[in-house]
A and B are shown apart, each in its own frame.
Chain A
């Protein structure tokens, strides 16, 4: 019997080996070693000469905290969080719309999901044409008499609009995804509840805010958490739309772009110590936000 338990253990670890080796090497080790690098002096020049990282304590952390570019990055990443509530409420509203028992609903759902399966690089190609000075957005705004032809501008080259334009693309790629998650949650709301409210004369607006939003709170919070983590880590969007510059005038420079540009995004000047320190600080912000959200959901759980 002992022999058999030993064999089972051996087999178990043999099956687990590929996953454990790969995760250890490419997930755990980089987090540990990367954190360590945050407390060392290690640049691309050291890499070339074969010199190892030198311990410098909190020097990088101090440098990063005092770097105006990093401060701008944190600020812009926090600004990016504004997309979360808008995206979540809109996705829930869209889910309610396509949850009606009417013809062609499946068609609309599938259509709304197409941006989700679109690569961010394709989104950048297509949306840059839309945001051009002569692009479709300005043309539509002219049609609606919001803009005249002199007032037109490139939305990605204006420091007041660039970040919002990129957030719009995040919204575009996200609402179909969250719609599907909300559709699953909506199945748990009894139809009688809404019917009763309608009979009592509640408008669609009232039904949404007074019945659906409160009942969907658990799903809303979960989706907000997912969305918050994604928003604070925004990086790809900025790289594809600005080529990694974070421009114009650093108006789209996000926190993680700082990490990228201090390491492989700007390989010849890479400073892995500074990049690691900045990454650690961003991770702390991420943990703090997740903790707040976790506390919110815990209250929710204890209420039930």
Chain B
């Protein structure tokens, strides 16, 4: 081999080594970040399945407490039977289901004229909906509770749900979906004598299923996790609290049982994780405002 090719080979080997080192470093970093992201869940999971009957169990006995010596599902049964978590779980399900259905119906209806009909006042209404994105909504909750009280809806499911189902995000998402549908389809339907409601129901909605699904999933996760608004709207009625609010009440009790609270946390997290893993492509598409950050 000539000295030149030797030199080239050495350079190539060094470049390959550097690249390999870089890749190894990347993976090390990414694993570290992954640990940061999911450690709280792993520890909580470990706590929730720890058999607290076993002697000398402390959740702070690292690293042993991350690998429980005796495993049980007893904490899950206890938190449901003794602390009534089932009731709060059901509240979460009801509030979330009503919010998802409400958001889909309101958005799907309102987006149609904004996307496809010509009528006076359209620009004004569109502008008004855009303006909700910049309005100082931080003071809205003060008055909303007063309004709900006047309507007799304070401390009801409807009181939690009605104020949050008409959103600019939902309406814009559906409007974009309708705008992407070819106008010829609508015209054909009109010529066949279809009414606007029929066009919406038979043409627009079936062709907008991906957007409806995305909106439904974002609303589902957002509502299931929501803490502030339900805690305010249900100020006067603890019986209807969703899990997100109830779990902190459980934890706020004096001498609370760590193992039960961990089990409760897992019960609240698992449905979200299932939905997230099934629908991850919707989240990974990167839609602004999809989840409050």
Q: Which residues of A contact B (CB under 8 A)?
A: 5, 8-9, 11-13, 15-16, 18-20, 22-23, 25-31, 33-35, 37-38, 47, 94, 97-98, 100, 102, 108-130, 132, 134-136, 139, 172-174, 176-178, 180-181, 183-184, 204, 222, 226-227, 230, 233, 235-236, 239-240, 243, 256, 259, 263-264, 267, 272, 275-276, 279-280, 282-283, 286-287, 290
Contacts and interface: CB of A to CB of B under 8 A. Distances in A.
A134 B41 CA distance: 18
A124 B265 CA distance: 10
Chain A to chain B: the 7 pairs with minimum beta-carbon distance, closest first? A283-B136, A279-B139, A30-B143, A119-B225, A12-B113, A19-B110, A26-B163
Given A26-B147, A118-B269, A125-B261, A263 B110 contact: no
A19 B272 contact: no
Given A114-B276, A117-B273, 14 more contacts: A8-B196, A15-B112, A27-B166, A34-B140, A111-B37, A112-B34, A119-B224, A122-B244, A123-B40, A180-B283, A230-B292, A233-B138, A240-B248, A279-B136
A164 to B, nearest CB: 16
B3 interface: no
Given A178-B293, A236-B227, A26 B144 contact: yes
A174 B200 CA distance: 37
B142 A279 contact: yes
Contacts of A97: 26, 29-30, 33
A264 B145 contact: yes
Interface in B107-125: 107, 109-110, 112-114, 117-120, 122, 125
B67 interface: no
A121 B245 contact: yes
A117 B291 contact: yes
Interface string B199-225: 010000000000000000000010011
B207 to A, nearest CB: 17
A5 B224 CA distance: 42
B17 interface: no
Interface in B219-248: 221, 224-228, 231-232, 235, 244-245, 247-248
B173 interface: no
Contact of B251 (A108, A110, A125, A178): A125
A112 B83 CA distance: 32
A27 B258 CA distance: 39
Contacts, number: 263
Given A18-B166, A125-B44, A34 B142 contact: yes
A219 to B, nearest CB: 10
Interface of B: 22-23, 26-27, 29-30, 33-34, 36-41, 43-44, 47, 58-60, 62, 105-107, 109-110, 112-114, 117-120, 122, 125, 128-129, 132, 134-147, 162-166, 171, 196-197, 200, 221, 224-228, 231-232, 235, 244-245, 247-248, 251-252, 258, 261-262, 265, 268-269, 272-273, 276-277, 280, 283-286, 288, 291-293
B268 A129 contact: no
Contacts of A120: 225, 227
A279 B224 CA distance: 27
Contact of B23 (A102, A183, A240): A102
Contacts of B135: 27-28, 31
Contact of A136 (B39, B110, B120, B228): B39
Contacts of B284: 109-110, 113, 180, 183
A264 B141 CA distance: 9
A84 B248 CA distance: 27
A283 B39 CA distance: 37
A110 B283 CA distance: 9
